[in-house]
Amino acid sequence: MEKSLIIKKIGEILSKTLKHNNFEISDSLSADDVEGWDSLTHMLIITEVEKEFNIKFKLKELNKLQNVGSLIELVQMKIQ
């Protein structure tokens, strides 16, 4: 899958879960930059990402995520 398509889908998941579009999706975007993306909503976002790409994450992988860029990399690795 093209990286741009993954970015687009993750952006959609974020706006759907957080109910707003006040962010510009990029590799360096992190949870701290996005209103409402905190430890409470994080796992909801992750569940949606798993469902969308039909993948399963490990907790260890999630703990290492730094920003949207590393999430995209992880998704790319999983769907290959």
Partner 1 sequence: MLFNSIQFALFLPVAFTLYWFVFNKSSKSQNILLLLASLVFYAWADYRFLILLFASILINYYVGLRIFRTEKEVNKKRYLWLGLIFNIGILFFFKYFNFFAESFISLFNVFNAGIKFNALKIILPLGISFFTFQMLGYIIDIHREEIEPSNNLLDFSVYVAFFPKLLAGPIERAQKFLPQIAVKRIFNPEQATDGLRQILWGLFVKLVVSNNCAIYADNIYNGYASANGSTLLLGAIFYMFQIYGDFSGYSNIAIGVSKLFGINLMANFARPFFSTNISDFWKKWHISLTSWMMDYVNNPLSFKLRKFKKVGMSLSIVCTFLLVGFWHGAEWKYLLYGLLHGIYFIPLLLMKNSKRSSLVAKGKLLPGFKETAQMTGLFFLVCLTGIFFRADSITDAVKFITGIFNPSLFSIPVFQYRAIAILTLCFVLFMLVIEWITREKDHPLIDFETKYPVVVRWGVYYALSIVIFIFSGGAQPFIYFQF
Which residues in this chain contact partner 1 in the complex, by CB under 8 A? 17-20, 35-36, 38-44, 46-47, 50, 59-60, 62-64
DSSP, res 36: T
φ and ψ at residue 50, rounded to 5 degrees: -60, -45
Q: Least distance to partner 1 from the beta carbon of 3, Å?
A: 25
Q: Specify the residue, 25 or 46, whose C-beta has the smaller distance to partner 1.
A: 46
* Closest approach of partner 1 to the CB of residue 64, in Å: 7
Closest CA to 42 of 26, 73, 63: 63
